[in-house]
Amino acid sequence: MEFSKHLINQTESVTEALKKLNTLGIDAILFVIDADERLLGAMTDGDIRRGFIKGLTLNDPITFFIQPNPVYIRLGDYTISEIEGYRRRNLKVIPILDEAHKIVDILNLRVRETMLPLDAVIMAGGKGERLMPLTKDCPKPLLKVGGKPIIEHNIDRLVNFGIDRIIISVRYLGDQIKKYFNDGSLKGVHIEYVEENIPLGTFGSLSLIPSFNTEHILLMNSDLLTNIDFADFYKSFIEADADLMVASIPYQVRIPYAVLEIDNGNVRSFHEKPTYSYYSNGGIYLFKKELLELLQVNTFFNATDFMELLISGKRKVVHYPILGYWLDIGRHEDFEKAQNDVRHIKF
């Protein structure tokens, strides 16, 4: 457990605490636990120094030095606004506790943006036929952009936003993807897999997943290269009280001529060289778990059909314009563009 380096038992000595703090570098904070691994307090170099000033010694229990009421996050009972508040207070390393007050993980805001309460599903079953022969023996998600597979860019971004359970839907050459990521432990997350025996569409394969741990689910295609702000995406979804939010790509069409507005053959007005704005589907969706009840097991269901079903049922479907970088790597020219862009865009 990576977070265990921040833990110290209350029976340990002050000297041992100093040794542990010395190994933590800029993340130098310890969380003191009791025999049942419950959080008692936090300790930094400064706490020990202040203890010495007060007359404490190396022989005193470390519980004499600790901050008894440290900030913590309760697993499954927190808000994104709460975490943003900790960031504004310049808090960096925060323990995550279960209902028994035991530390189950650490959120390090120096290396992660936040901790989104989402399960994520990545669609990675396509053959990538337009990218042949590159995909003859390699699944498209594992094609490398900037020395790293396309899908790994997306997984790393999900991890950066604190999403710790990722399900990958595989089909074509899926064993290669499984072998590459295994159970996700090297990424510090839980990665699971579902296999499509037949193509099921973007939403159809969700019916193969037995359960989800969160009330909202993030679904995305694996062949995207994007620096979307998943935290803002999630907050916008919650604020909109939507059933489904789809990431969209703003697209402008500039007409080089005056455009006439016609009504029953009569010219009502005209616009000189107008620009029209449209939004295309960005292949990233956020939706309420309850919508899964609309799916049938092993039944094809693509994204457009699913959204049309929701709209016809008077469900709230909204969009979120991606104002940063986004590229769908579907063609050879897209793949070549990605190789150039990845050197200049921060992901």
pLDDT digits (tens, 9 = 90+) for 233-281: 999 999 999 999 999 998 888 888 888 888 888 878 888 888 888 899 9
Phi and psi torsions of 89, nearest 5° = -80, 5
Instruction: Please state, as a whole number, how many other Cβ atoms lie within 10 Å of the Cβ of residue 329.
Output: 25
Tokens of 6: 């921040």
Instruction: Verify cis geometry, omega within 30 degrees of 0, for the bond prior to 141.
Output: no
Domains and CATH numbers, the chain: 2-108 (3.10.580.10), 119-341 (3.90.550.10)
In this structure, are residues 154 and 122 in contact, taking their beta carbons and an 8 Å threshold?
yes
**CA–CA distances in Å: residue 1 to residues 44, 100, 105, 116, 189:** 21, 19, 8, 21, 11
- CA separation for the pair 75, 95 (Å, rounded): 10
Question: How many other CB atoms sit within 10 Å of the CB of residue 55?
Answer: 7
Read off the pLDDT of residues 289-338 as tens digits, 9 standing for 90 and up: 999 999 988 889 999 999 999 999 999 999 999 999 999 999 999 999 99
Question: Percentage of the chain with pLDDT > 90?
Answer: 80
Q: Model's pTM, two decimal places?
A: 0.88
Token pair in block for residue 136: 């003859």
Interacting residues of 194 by C-beta distance below 8 A, sequence separation 6+: 167, 168, 169, 170, 205, 208, 209
User: Tokens in use for 121?
Assistant: 């599903």
pLDDT surpassing 80 at residue 1: no
- Distance between first and last Cα of the chain: 27
Distance (Å, whole) CA 282 – CA 154: 14
Q: How far, CA to CA in Å, does 53 sit from each of 41, 48, 49?
A: 20, 9, 6
| 220 SS3 class | strand
User: Does 2 have pLDDT greater than 80?
Assistant: no
